[in-house]
Amino acid sequence: MKFLIAPSLLLTTLLFSCGETAELEAEASETSTINADLEMKSGEEVDRFADIQVIRYDIVDFDKLTIQQKKLVYFMSQAGLAGRDIIYDQNNPYNLEIRNAIEHIIENYDGDKSTDDWKNLMVYAKQIWFANGIHHHYGMNKFTPKFSQFAFKGYAKETMAKISNEAIDIIFNPSLAAKRKVKDASQDMIVASANGFYGPGVTQKMVDEYYDAKADPNNDHPIELGLNSTMILKDGEAYEDVWKIDGKYGKAIEKIVFWLEKAVDVAENDIQADALEKLIEYYKTGDLTTWDDYNVLWAKSTEGDIDWINGFIETYGDALGKRASYESIVQITDFEASKQMSVVAENAQWFEDNSPLIESHKKKEVKGVSYKVVQVASESGDASPSTPIGVNLPNNNWIRQEVGSKSVSLGNIISAYDKAGGPGILNEFANDEEEIALSKEHGYLAGKLHTALHEVVGHASGQINKGVGQPAETLRNYASTLEEARADLVGLYYIMDPKMIDLGLITTLDVGKAEYDGYIRNGMMTQLQRLELGDDVEEEHMQNRQLVASWAIERGAQDNVIERITRNGKTYFNVNDYDKLRVIFGELLREIQRIKSEGDYEAGKALVEDYGVKVDQALHKEVLDRVKPLDLAPYRGFVNPILSPVEGEDGEIIDIKIENNQTFVEQMLYYRKEYGILD
């Protein structure tokens, strides 16, 4: 699970990822001669277009790794990038054709580049690169080109770019492929969604019936049905076209496997090597039992400095939460930061035992929970250019329960966000100077701790009743929203617990108060800047935050726990009683865990639809009006440092060079040349 919880201070304008950030100095390590010219550029702006700001992150202390570790990082980064094209096709079947044509035009057009048409084409290209396709990465709506169809056809003809009339229609006809993912239970969400997870003619009814027939609620070790295939019609019947080395996406997967096989030879230990070999087997066979076997090995592989996320993992891109997007993150342990926060994982059983859950919904034995702060070395697929700042995996519930899970906080990503941040959104939406002061003093630590609690304790907590199926089967299209709300609520409940002081994680509960202020402020107001006026909330993390905040306000109305204030025509939300708010968060956590444990679809649907979807339109307009003068980019993402091997006279790799100077356009065209594998 990617942790995309709203930050409580500066990052509310950024990714709505896991934690608040404040000043965090990144100390440059001693570097080798090869990397002596590597300048620390964390947070430096690379590009700004539409609603996007692109920045840089640094890889700190890379030169402290051994050459074998550097090779492992390099090989895993290459494996990740080899699958980059897959996410484009998953997001829409025309994405690769459109992207490849536009990249060909950009590389080969020698005409007038001062015209509005050309400038707007460049913005459109950048939007596609950032979103991995023609639909917004967060809002899911198709981008509207601001260049003319006549001009585009002229560019294509002059450069001899290959693009079909059908693809041109997709670009310019607003009624075609209008939204990548539609989360509206009143529609056939499969037919209405423009992603590439389902073929022509497939309906939601077909999908539900297909997996209802396959699901076995009494299976103690169920696979994640549908995770790694495109569902198509074959002879009029639903059929899974599996993503594997001799199947769909085979050309890209073959290259992924090529690099994974090299990584096996430089693994840090036997269990790492075993996990990599099992991942290779999975890519070759497409077998989801093998995927589970890999995840068991990966979850147990907690020794070593290097780790990775690679595969078809998160299902947020599918309206039904079954099919997973390709992603890759390569990471290096930040030992000092990890040591500081390891106490959360060490006390996972205490958190479970003392939670407000119904006793039968608590785990009697929390197993294999680990937490690390890491330095990201490379990202690809669904993790790039827009990235999470915290991840907890594996997603399969039985593995979490029997084996455990690994949680990471992406430290250098958080640092980069922080260095690029600013206080404008806080000053505009905080109720008073006391709230601002709390956030400035404690917001960074509050977000960091909430991230840890969400990932390590939240996603690892609770258990499903025996005989109840997996959430993707029982809660269906509401499963992801409810799971993120559940994990958020665990973090919110415990961040105001005196145990945090006893564990040495904080020195004052003002840290929790800062998080409560920011969470309500974001859930009710600041996240609305990401929506077009009149839109419902469809993205799962946004639904989760609004659900939690609006439910808490309603629940505490009689005691005025959270007060809505209007002052000089502006709306503010003020927490009057933090202790009572904590009780309310506990009550909602208990109910959502009950829904998950019992597979109560109707209750889950009611929570999401009643509290998480509809927007107060007057408040939404007010938020948009207040945000506009701040001139903030609602979304941020990254270019990646480039890792390049340095070879000795015998052709052996003797070092890995890091370069961090590419512009966004340069990097995307470089990726086209190096990793453009699928047609």
pLDDT at residue 338, as a whole number: 83
pLDDT at residue 341, as a whole number: 77
Q: How far apart are CA 101 and CA 113, in angstroms?
A: 17
Q: What is the phi/psi pair of residue 269, to 5°?
A: -160, 175
Closest by CA position to 157, among listed 109, 98, 119, 117: 109
229 — pLDDT class (breaks 50, 70, 90): very high
pLDDT at residue 533, as a whole number: 94
The mean pLDDT value for 461-484 works out to 94
At position 178, the amino acid (one-letter code) is A
- The three-class DSSP label of residue 54 is strand
pLDDT at residue 37, as a whole number: 42
- How far are the Cα atoms of 83, 279, 639, 671, 678 from residue 253, in angstroms, in the given order? 7, 11, 23, 16, 10
CA angle 426, 430, 432 (to 5 degrees): 125
- How far are the Cα atoms of 88, 215, 320, 498, 584 from residue 587, in angstroms, in the given order? 41, 31, 27, 19, 5
Would the pLDDT of 639 be above 60? yes
- Is the Cα torsion angle 543, 409, 435, 10 positive or negative in sign? negative
What is the DSSP secondary structure assignment for residue 13, as one 8-state letter? G
Who contacts 4 (Cβ-Cβ below 8 Å, separation ≥6)?
Answer: 15, 16, 17, 18, 388, 484, 541
Tens of pLDDT, residues 292-310: 999 999 999 999 999 999 9
31 — pLDDT class (breaks 50, 70, 90): very low
More confidently predicted of 286 and 339: 286
pLDDT at residue 220, as a whole number: 93
Tens of pLDDT, residues 462-473: 999 999 988 999
Would the pLDDT of 17 be above 70? no
Tens of pLDDT, residues 172-200: 999 999 999 999 989 999 999 999 999 99
Q: How far apart are CA 605 and CA 611, in angstroms?
A: 10
Judged by average pLDDT, the poorest of 15-29, 435-449, 569-583 is 15-29
First vs last C-alpha separation in the chain: 30
pLDDT at residue 451, as a whole number: 83
H/E run at residue 339: helix 335-346
477 — pLDDT class (breaks 50, 70, 90): very high
Who contacts 543 (Cβ-Cβ below 8 Å, separation ≥6)?
Answer: 481, 537, 608, 612, 613
- 616, two tokens: 């107060």
Averaged pLDDT of the chain: 92
Who contacts 430 (Cβ-Cβ below 8 Å, separation ≥6)?
Answer: 436, 439, 517, 521, 572
Maximum distance among all Cα pairs of the chain, rounded to whole angstroms: 77
- How far are the Cα atoms of 123, 267, 433, 439, 557 from residue 429, in angstroms, in the given order? 30, 49, 11, 12, 21
Would the pLDDT of 25 be above 70? no
pLDDT at residue 2, as a whole number: 64
H/E run at residue 644: strand 642-647
Would the pLDDT of 83 be above 70? yes
How much helix, strand and coil, in percent to the nearest 5, is found in the chain? 50, 15, 35
CA 643, distance to chain mean position in Å, is 23
Closest by CA position to 640, among listed 11, 78, 35: 78
21 — pLDDT class (breaks 50, 70, 90): very low
Q: How far apart are CA 565 and CA 633, in angstroms?
A: 27
Q: How far apart are CA 309 and CA 327, in angstroms?
A: 7
Q: Model's pTM, two decimal places?
A: 0.87
pLDDT at residue 381, as a whole number: 98
H/E run at residue 402: helix 397-402
